[in-house]
Amino acid sequence: MPLQPNAIGAVSRRIASRSELDAERLIGSGALRELLGDVSHMHIWRLLNDENYRALKFVRPIVIGRRNYWRLGDVRRWINRRPKKPPRETA
């Protein structure tokens, strides 16, 4: 049975609200490290604190009870904002 036009609009609204909720979801440092390509804790620290990395304007964490969390949507926007590297040529 095909979906009625009103049902399609309702489905689209649910999907949109889910993606908005997903963007607000908080992730911890383990998930962040994995999302950034299995980087180390030290790399995250450098992104946040090292003067040489300041130009990258990495997303500041939300601190809850001495732990750092990041909004998933903010991290994804930061990743998408980064310039794409051309593929490496092999010799």
Q: Is the pLDDT of residue 38 over 50?
A: yes
pLDDT tens readout for residues 9-33:
454 455 445 667 788 899 999 999 9
Other CB atoms closer than 10 Å to residue 65's CB: what's the count?
5
Q: How confident is the model at residue 15, as a pLDDT?
A: 46
Q: How confident is the model at residue 79, as a pLDDT?
A: 93
pTM, entire model: 0.70
Mean pLDDT of the chain: 83
